[in-house]
Amino acid sequence: MTAAIESKHSSEKLIQFFLEKHNCKFNDFGWVVEDVYLTVNHNNLEILKRLPAVLFSSLDVSRIKFDNMEIVGYVQDKCSTPFAKNAKLDIIKYLQEKNNTLFIKQEVFTQLALNGQLDIIKYLIGKLPGSRSYLYRHAFLGGDLETFKYIHSNQTYSGGSTSLFPTRDTKFPESLALIEYVHQNHPWFAPSWYMISAFIYHGQLERVKTMLSAYNDSEIKLSDCVNIAMRRGHLSILELLFKSYPEIRPTAKGVEDAAVNFQNEAIVWVFDNYGAERIQGNISLLPLIVARNEEMIYYLLRSTRQQVSYADILMAIKQSDNKLFNKISPLRSTHFTSTWLIASAATGNLEIFQSVYECMSKYDNYSTEMVAQKLIEHNNRSMLKSLIDLGILKWSFTFYVYALEHEYVDQIQWIAEHFGKETLDDQIVQLIDTKQQFSDLFYFNLLKLHPTVFSKLDFTNQIQRSIVKNNIQLFTLLYSYYKEKNAKLSNYSIFETARTKPIFLHFFK
């Protein structure tokens, strides 16, 4: 796609090609970030506005030309975060000279503070209107000590720590030096519960001991403390917390976070010494399955009455992990759903699919048609053939219809090879005569691949159908085709159908 765009750009016909002449859906193309650079650097704002938003999240602004401020303004507005993340001081200065309001946005300064881009902050901070207090928190979380000191020297903040930190916050700077500096020099900055949690996060046992003795229980969020210690795997701090507060209770979320970070030893220590009943709430296996922490999944299944949810099994299927799936699926084998069967088909994992299918074959709540559609969607010809050989699926003309309706080019070809053109033509005529509703894309592809089919149909009926759907493109395509073939059309019937539709004027132009 990138090469195609480049060649179109070089002749300045990209916009014309897509916006005026091309009937396909713009978003169906496999756009990549590289296409954004090409579009920006060739000053095609109209195409740029139609590119998927997700592409703007990882731009490198150093690769963007800055000679068209309208385009730069659009990109900067679309992706302030990557602009700030990748920005260089010389680029910012150039842009500010062209448009001095371009970067005066809170989200830009937030990202600059997080990244510790002190040279740019120094250049821009005087231009920032209003309070800059929000920069404190982001400079702190960014972890750059010099950036934090500079922002503090340029903004006196007296609003108290409660407005800077939410009541529940588990984000901490990676810089222990910054935490120490703030704790010693700016005790007002963060509440006591947060600073204790931050020192736990960094495994500072002696500092935690001192702070626990200095504050009363109401100033400490004990569940947060033990959850953070588990998540970071600090066993010595876990022992201190449980010894100091015998009734302390970790939450299920804390166990999940620890497992996702593979701090299995910390979880086992808590369970072995205090039992699973100490945990508040129900632990979900879902994040563990996503993280593929099989050791902890098996441990929880063995040592607790851990329930396996439908979502857990579905995620195991999607991960296409045979060992994990076979371990947890028997616990819910009587509750399989069509969703699981379709998901197992999508993975292309024949072993898992057969396991799910064997369990579901005892029931009637599944659809093999949707399984076939999923395999066609993923262009998994080999698995489709395997399921046909196993007798689970049978070749069906609906496979071809599904491929036509979704314009799956490769699939259309290999399914057609199986049936043969004459057989397909006959079945298509029978299908259309049933007067089912099909997508416009189906008709476009049908006319392109099976033009002889239309000679066997009621011409007037097909044109009337396009009018009812108010599709001018389809109407024009069919009407032109039938006129070329000198087909006998009932213009009166067509007129009667069209006269109440917006397409009416098009019919007489």
Instruction: Kindly list the domain boundaries of the chain, sorted by start residue.
Output: 190-287
Residues 196 and 389: their CA atoms lie apart, in Å, by 63
| Residue 166 confidence (pLDDT) above 70 | no
190-287 carries CATH number 1.25.40 = yes
Residues 390 and 61: their CA atoms lie apart, in Å, by 54
pLDDT digits 0-9 by tens, 435-479:
566 666 776 777 777 766 666 665 566 666 665 555 566 666 666
Which position has the higher pLDDT, 184 or 218? Answer: 184
- At 462 the pLDDT is 60
68-79 burial: b if 16+ Cβ within 10 Å, else e: beebbbbbbebb
- At 344 the pLDDT is 83
| pTM for the whole structure | 0.59
- At 402 the pLDDT is 87
- Tokens representing residue 328 in the block: 């947890």
Q: What is the CA radius of gyration of the chain?
A: 32
pLDDT digits 0-9 by tens, 24-59:
344 444 566 676 777 776 777 777 777 776 676 666
Question: What is the arithmetic mean of pLDDT over 345-357?
Answer: 83
- At 111 the pLDDT is 75
46 Cβ contact list (under 8 Å, min separation 6): 15, 19
Beta partners for 66?
A: none
- At 105 the pLDDT is 64
* Sign, CA torsion 430/435/439/444: positive
| Residue 359 confidence (pLDDT) above 90 | no
Percent of the chain with pLDDT over 90: 11
Q: Share the mean pLDDT of the chain.
A: 74
Q: What single-letter DSSP state applies at residue 162?
A: G
Is residue 397 left, alpha or beta, with left meaning phi > 0 and alpha meaning psi from -120 to 50?
Answer: alpha
